Amino acid sequence: MFQETYLQSYLKKFAQVHLGQKLLLCGCSITEKQCLILTSALKSNPSHLRELDLSWNKLGDSGVKNLSDLLMNTQFKLEKLQLSSCEMTDEGCSAVTSALKSNPSHLRELNLSRNKLGDSGVKNLSDLLMNTQFKLEKLVLCRCSITEKQCLILTSALKSNPSHLRELNLSSNQITNTGLNHLCDVLKDSHCKLERLRSGWHHLKSSEGLASSLECSGSKLELVNSWLPWDVNLMAETENK
């Protein structure tokens, strides 16, 4: 756990002497107030950081909103953002995606797992995915309580801009056959470059729709079942079918 005085000192040093391109603060019990200190420090020198991990901290929507002010800065060229389990709701998700709309061209990996994104959060994320300037390659939405309806919104967005995403994690969400069918439609698109799909659907390999989609996409997709506790991955080897 960071004390505020230590956090201020550490971040000031980080900003001044460029300790590196990565700032990894996962599980540091950072609060909303401390997140404001963090973003204020990074605003003083936004151009060097490439990876930021604030997962498993109690940022809340207020803390995420402060971070979003930084994400809007076009000098901030972050490539990897980890915000898993930050007590974020649709309000925080909307703030992040709105900020990225203003500065869409650098981010390649986004992890919003274990947050309750809600309808408006998923809708705003989908709007961002439709932006052709947004060239995200890895999207992790594990345990976000995503519903069938929300899955349809997401897959519709991916249909409109299918050529960049390489890895998608939708494991441990409320998605069944209907959502799977929508996802299959995306995979059938010849422009879809998805290489790895992580899911909690045990019936994935036996789905005729998925099999057809894999055939149409050249069978390059790696399937991973992440249904085990703590997202332990069970590789689904297609040759063992």
pLDDT tens column, 146-199: 998 999 999 999 988 888 999 999 988 888 778 888 888 888 887 888 888 887
Q: Which SS3 state, helix, strand or coil, does residue 51 take?
A: strand
The pLDDT, as a whole number, for residue 238 is 36
- Length, in residues, of the chain: 241
Query: pTM of the entire structure?
Result: 0.84
Q: For 208-235, what is each residue's pLDDT tens digit? A: 556 565 665 554 677 666 544 333 333 3
Q: Return the CATH number of the domain spanning residue range 22-40+47-240.
A: 3.80.10.10
Q: Is 62 left (phi over 0), alpha (psi -120 to 50) or beta?
A: alpha
Task: Please answer whether residues 103 and 79 qualify as being in contact, where contact means their C-beta atoms are separated by less than 8 angstroms.
Answer: no
Q: Which SS3 state, helix, strand or coil, does residue 235 take?
A: strand
Using alpha carbons, select from 62, 8, 13, 80 the residue that is nearest to residue 40: 8
The pLDDT, as a whole number, for residue 218 is 57
Residue 32 in this model has a pLDDT that exceeds 60: yes
Domain positions in the chain: 22-40+47-240
Residue type, 224: V
